[in-house]
Amino acid sequence: MTDQAPRGTRPTRPEGSPKRGPYSKGLARRQQIIDEVLTVYDRLGFEGTSLRAIGEAIGVTHPVLKHHFGTREQLFIEVLREHDRRFLDAPSEDDDTFVDLIHRSTEHSMRVPGLMALLNSMVAHALEAGNDHSRAHFSERYADLRRTIVSLLEEGRAAGSVRSDIPLDEAASLVLAAADGLSTQWLLDGSADLKSGLLLLQRLLEPPGREVGRTDA
């Protein structure tokens, strides 16, 4: 005797089994597009990477790209979101300081050709009038980063490694500004040492007289 669903009812998909059919194929195609955009961007740059250019390069029609993402702006934002997710999901040692966090994030971005350039271009794009979607995305992203850095600074202050006479919200904004500026300089000529610059900033945020890298007895 075989197990069958009653006549007239649709068999249920076993819990945990992968979805099939057009929906799963659509998700796979969408992921393929996200995965391949940066290769095109690294070759053509911001101005040259149109939806049509992406479609021609990866073998996807323009209507398919429009269906999945709507606009080039939305596609680029989804690419950045995907790489943010991959960074957060990647196994790592605990980030003890903002230097650890930002240096790990930068190393992740440097391993993906075109990612840092796209990020910087999209931040500039968000500042232009009419690009409200990009502006909202980066406003939220920076707010999340500030909260994370404030949390790390609070832990540092509790451990005696961050001075007590500065507002941590403003310090977190300063850390992000330094990271953005150093990464832009690195993109331009490769001479900027991001980690050394952040270590200097960390030293400036420490209580007077405390040596960088000193371990308390």
pLDDT of residue 21: 58
Same domain, 197 and 104: yes
Q: Which of 70, 91, 109 is the last residue of a domain?
A: 70
Is 32 domain-assigned? yes
CA contacts within 13 A on the Cβ side of 111: 9
Report d(CA 39, CA 185) in Å as an integer.
Answer: 22
Quick one: 140 and 178 in the same domain?
A: yes
Q: Is residue 76 domain-shared with residue 164, that is, in the same domain?
A: yes
pLDDT along the chain (217 residues), means of 10: 43 48 73 91 94 93 92 95 86 74 81 88 95 95 94 93 95 93 86 86 88 48
164 DSSP 8-state letter: S
Amino acid at the residue 201: L
What does pTM read for this prediction? 0.77
Q: Please say which residue of 70, 86, 103 terminates a domain.
A: 70
Same domain, 132 and 199: yes
86 and 188 together in one domain: yes
Helices (H), the chain: 22-48, 51-58, 62-69, 72-89, 98-110, 115-126, 132-158, 168-189, 194-205
Q: Do 25 and 129 lie in a common domain? A: no
> What's the pLDDT at 43?
93
Q: In this structure, what CATH number is given to the domain that contains residue 51?
A: 1.10.10
Contact in structure between 95 and 152 (CB atoms under 8 Å): yes
Query: Is 145 part of a structural domain of the chain?
Result: yes
Q: Which two tokens stand for residue 184?
A: 């832009």
Report the Cα 102 to chain-centroid distance in Å. Answer: 11
pLDDT in tens, 19-33: 555 567 778 888 889
Residues 89, 191 within the same domain: yes
| pLDDT tens for each residue of 64-74 | 999 999 999 99
pLDDT of residue 129: 95
For residue 28, the tally of other CB atoms under 10 A from its CB is: 10
| Structural tokens at position 126 | 């968000």
CATH of the domain at 185: 1.10.357.10
Domain-ending residue, one of 70, 104, 132: 70
Residues 82 and 64 in one domain: no
Given this model, what pLDDT does residue 211 score?
60
Say if residue 196 is in the same domain as residue 103: yes
Residue 135 has a pLDDT of: 96
Range of the domain at 29: 20-70
